[in-house]
Amino acid sequence: MLEIGNVVKLYRKLRGMTLEETAVKAEISTSYLSQIEHDSVNMNLSVLEKLSIALNVPVQKFFIQDSLNNIFISRNGERTISKRANGALEETLFDKNDNSKTILLTLPKGYEDLKLASHSGDESLLVLSGAMEIDFGGYKTEVINTGDFIEYSSMIPHRFISKEGCKVFVNSVTTPVAYI
């Protein structure tokens, strides 16, 4: 049985409607609507269409339960923190299927990646505090400061340098890193 009762109830409450008002508009009994909201009864598509009209909600929106079950929260104090070479701290905020990773990177004063990294995908960085340089393999260097955002293809060889220390929010959609 598909469980969509909580979603029906959510939209009913968002619309400021009572069980009775919704049932009347959907041309079903109040007790049947209550059973639907508690997922204790099966309903057919015609009832779902009636609820869709009564609540002014597209039918497909009733099927968000799987998405609601996949909300991810990274709680402060429960995340993995690892130390990189030269003292940088990498706090993993989100890591999914080895191809999407979000980290909080703290680079100490004088930090410099020893090797260039290159991998498929894209990276985006937001400097939360301080300043850093990104060396793109000697071809180009970008300086980014507090509040600056940068996005680039991570296939371009790159490394991080921080002369004064900084805190950086990094979102990486990549395949595994290969150092060159």
Could you report the per-residue pLDDT of 111-149, keeping only the tens digit for each?
Answer: 999 899 988 888 889 999 999 999 999 999 999 999 999
CATH superfamily, domain 81-179, is Jelly Rolls (2.60.120.10)
Could you report the per-residue pLDDT of 48-105, keeping only the tens digit for each?
Answer: 999 999 999 999 888 876 676 777 888 888 888 999 878 889 888 887 766 678 888 8
Round to whole Å and give the CA distance between 172 and 102.
6
**Axis crossing angle, helix 5-14 with helix 30-37, rounded to the nearest 10:** 120
Quick one: 23 exposed, middle or buried, by C-beta within 10 A (0-12, 13-18, 19+)? buried
Q: Where are the domains of the chain?
A: 5-69, 81-179
The CATH architecture one would assign to domain 5-69 is Orthogonal Bundle (1.10)
Phi, psi of 30 (to 5 degrees): -65, -40
Q: Is 62 left (phi over 0), alpha (psi -120 to 50) or beta?
A: alpha
Could you report the per-residue pLDDT of 8-55, keeping only the tens digit for each?
Answer: 999 999 999 999 999 999 999 999 999 999 999 988 899 999 999 999
Nearest to 4, CA basis, from 63, 61, 79, 51: 63
